[in-house]
């Protein structure tokens, strides 16, 4: 049923809950998992110059160590958990508008299912879904499994 599962991640607890679901499904269906970290160009645009934003859109993070570390850490968690379960994980980092990058990646890589958290690390939690999740649901034809996370503290 599923051969390629995309899990967008920002390293948040909600995203990590989605990772667990994606890996469970990958084990069941012998699927590969694609971990995608998207640097939201709109949110970093204010503090960066045009040249730096253009580099981010091209996926060039070489001069932005902090962003590179966050991205590698977030996708690395997926890869490490996948390795523990013998699930193949492809890591990818991109810059742009998250919902658009997620949709384009899914279409361009033959993704069968997107598994993502109900809301991310940025901003205040909305009544039902985070804006990236909601926009992804509205802009892709790939099935999306939305995973929520409740902090037990």
pLDDT tens digits, 7-43: 999 998 889 999 999 999 999 999 999 999 998 876 6
Relative to beta strand 89-96, strand 113-117 is unpaired
Model pLDDT, residue 126: 43
Model pLDDT, residue 118: 85
Model pLDDT, residue 124: 46
Task: Note the pLDDT tens digit of each residue in 55-107.
Answer: 665 655 555 677 778 889 999 999 999 999 999 999 999 988 899 999 999 99
Share of the chain above pLDDT 90, in %: 54
Model pLDDT, residue 90: 98
Residues 51 and 153: beta-carbon distance below 8 Å? no
Phi and psi at residue 53, to the nearest 5°: -65, -40
Phi and psi at residue 148, to the nearest 5°: -100, 160
Q: Which residues contact 20 (CB under 8 A, 6 or more apart)?
A: 81
Domain boundaries, the chain: 4-147
Model pLDDT, residue 127: 42
Tokens of 93: 């980092």
Rounded to an integer, what distance in angstroms lies between the CA atom of residue 22 and that of residue 40?
22
Ramachandran sector of residue 30 (left: φ over 0; alpha: ψ -120 to 50; beta: rest): left
pTM of the full structure: 0.81
Residues 113 and 25: beta-carbon distance below 8 Å? yes
- Which fold would CATH assign to domain 4-147? Rossmann fold (3.40.50)
Strands (E), 26-143: 32-40, 89-96, 113-117
Model pLDDT, residue 50: 59
Q: Is the pLDDT confidence value at 53 over 80?
A: no
> What sign results for the dihedral spanned by CA atoms 89, 95, 96, 97?
positive
Give the SS3 label for residue 115. Answer: strand
Tokens of 104: 């384009």
């Amino acid at each position: 049923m599923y051969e390629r599962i995309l899990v967008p991640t920002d390293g948040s607890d909600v995203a990590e809950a989605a990772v667990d679901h994606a890996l469970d499904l990958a084990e069941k269906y012998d699927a590969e998992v694609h971990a995608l970290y998207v640097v939201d160009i709109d949110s970093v645009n204010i503090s960066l110059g045009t040249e730096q934003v253009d580099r981010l859109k091209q996926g060039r993070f070489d001069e932005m160590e902090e962003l590179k570390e966050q991205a590698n850490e977030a996708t690395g968690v997926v890869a490490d958990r996948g390795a523990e379960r013998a699930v193949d994980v492809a890591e990818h980092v991109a810059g742009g508008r998250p919902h658009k990058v997620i949709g384009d990646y899914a279409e361009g890589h033959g993704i069968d299912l997107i598994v993502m958290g109900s809301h991310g690390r940025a901003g205040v939690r909305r009544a039902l879904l985070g804006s990236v999740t909601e926009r992804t649901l509205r802009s892709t034809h790939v099935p999306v499994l939305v995973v929520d996370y409740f902090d037990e503290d």
